[in-house]
Amino acid sequence: MTAALTILSLQTACGPGSTPGASAPPVCATLHVVQQRSTLASEDLQTPGLALPSGTQPVGIAADRDGASVWVLGTGSDQVLHVMADGSATTYQLPRSNLGLQLTQSLDGTVWVPEKDRDAIAAIAHLVDGRFVEYPIGVPGAEVLAAPGGGAWFTVHGAPILGRITASGAVQRIPIGGSGIALGLLAAPDGAIWVADFGGDRIVRVTADGKLSEWKTAPGAKPQSLAVGPGGGIWVTESGTNHLAVVRGDQLAEVYRTGDWPDHMVITADGWAWFTEYYQDRLGRVRVTA
């Protein structure tokens, strides 16, 4: 049930590709964003969850700093949704930009969103300050992850690399091998970055000094998203086989059966794993254990 509808006028800024570190990028366009509040219906299918509007095609999901709510990226509708534990939600309708697959929230509350058609990453400061800031990365971005020291990590479409962009816009690329279709990103408490190699059916861990480790999933598992669970286990969605799996030590094991195509996942501070189900326009939830 809709509670409120608001239209926001936002400015989009982008820097020239030849000077990614430019401190004052020119304004590119004025954008109009529709903000709508609603309550999502509860569902109890393979797992408990919440129904999203038809055509949302949810992919990316990020835990909010409040420890209980989540941000969801609707790739089919160019929307960003803020969903509370009780099912109440605020939807932000963005202009058509062919959104990437994952969004993230940094410590200052900024929500970062990749825009494939613009070859850019949009930084939405609390989604209320009236300004988008875009930084060119020179390649089509897939997913983005806020870096603790500022800037963000990202994966790209069609290249076996892990990228990093600094707060000033400088870009670094780290080879990780594999299929070149790497999606999910995770920053572990020890500082390592984990990557889900969707096309290669493997999980990759990259340490701060560039050392790589990997775990193979079942053939056709198509891992997409990663999250740290209780006890330090690394949980992963296996979209191709409809499972949630966990990495503990040198072992990877499937634990939960899900609905159709579990896509991206986060684990909130209260112990719940939230995950998007792309083909069912749905959010699933299960409580994970150590």
Determine phi and psi for 31, rounding to 5 degrees. Answer: -110, 150
pLDDT at residue number 54? 94
Element (H, E) at 230: none
Of residues 31 and 195, the one with the higher pLDDT is 195
8 A C-beta contact, residue 284 and residue 267: no
Query: Which of residues 174 and 9 earns the better pLDDT score?
Result: 174
Report the C-alpha gap between 241 and 239 in whole angstroms: 6
Q: Given pLDDT bands bounded at 50, 70 and 90, which one contains residue 119? A: low
Would the pLDDT of 19 be above 70?
no
Judge whether residue 27 has pLDDT over 70: no
**In 10 A of CB 84, how many CB atoms?**
15
6, two tokens: 């608001």
Predicted local confidence at residue 12, as pLDDT: 43
**What pLDDT shows up at residue 118?**
56
Q: Please tell me the least confidently modeled range out of 104-113, 200-209, 235-244.
A: 104-113
Using CB atoms within 10 Å of the CB of residue 68, give its burial: 0 to 12 exposed, 13 to 18 middle, 19+ buried.
middle
CATH assignment, 57-287: 2.130.10.10
Q: What is the structure's pLDDT at 143? A: 75
Mean pLDDT within 18-33: 47
Average pLDDT over residues 13-32: 45
Question: What is the predicted pLDDT for the residue at 108?
Answer: 78
* Closest C-alpha among 109, 267, 276, 94 to residue 183: 276
- The answer on pLDDT for 215 being more than 70 is yes
Given a cut of 70, whether residue 16 has pLDDT beyond it is no
User: Residue 125's pLDDT is what?
Assistant: 43
pLDDT class of 172 with cuts at 50, 70, 90: confident
Judge whether 167 and 123 are in contact, CB under 8 Å: no
Q: What is the pLDDT of residue 241?
A: 96
The CA angle 173-73-287, to the nearest 5 degrees, is 100
Closest among 40, 42, 70 to 274, alpha carbons compared: 70
Stronger pLDDT, 190 or 18, i.e. the higher one:
190
Q: What is the DSSP letter of 139?
A: S
User: ∠280-91-1 over CA atoms, to 5°?
Assistant: 80
Q: pLDDT confidence of 13, banded at 50, 70, 90?
A: very low
In the prediction, which pLDDT does 265 show?
Answer: 93
Give 1's pLDDT tier (boundaries 50, 70, 90): very low
Q: What percent of the chain has a predicted confidence (pLDDT) above 70?
A: 80
As a whole number, mean pLDDT of residues 125-147 equals: 65
* Token digits of residue 281: 């326009």
Cβ neighbours for 251, distance < 8 A, ≥ 6 positions apart: none
Q: What is the pLDDT of residues 87-97, one digit of tens each?
A: 999 998 887 77
Mean pLDDT on 29-54: 83
pLDDT of residue 109: 79
**The one-letter amino acid at 76:** G
Q: Does the pLDDT value for residue 21 go beyond 60? A: no
pLDDT value of residue 2: 43
- Shortest CA distance to 103 belongs to which of 140, 134, 60? 60
pLDDT score for 246: 96
Strands 131-136 and 4-14 turn out to be parallel
- pLDDT at residue 31 is higher than 50: yes
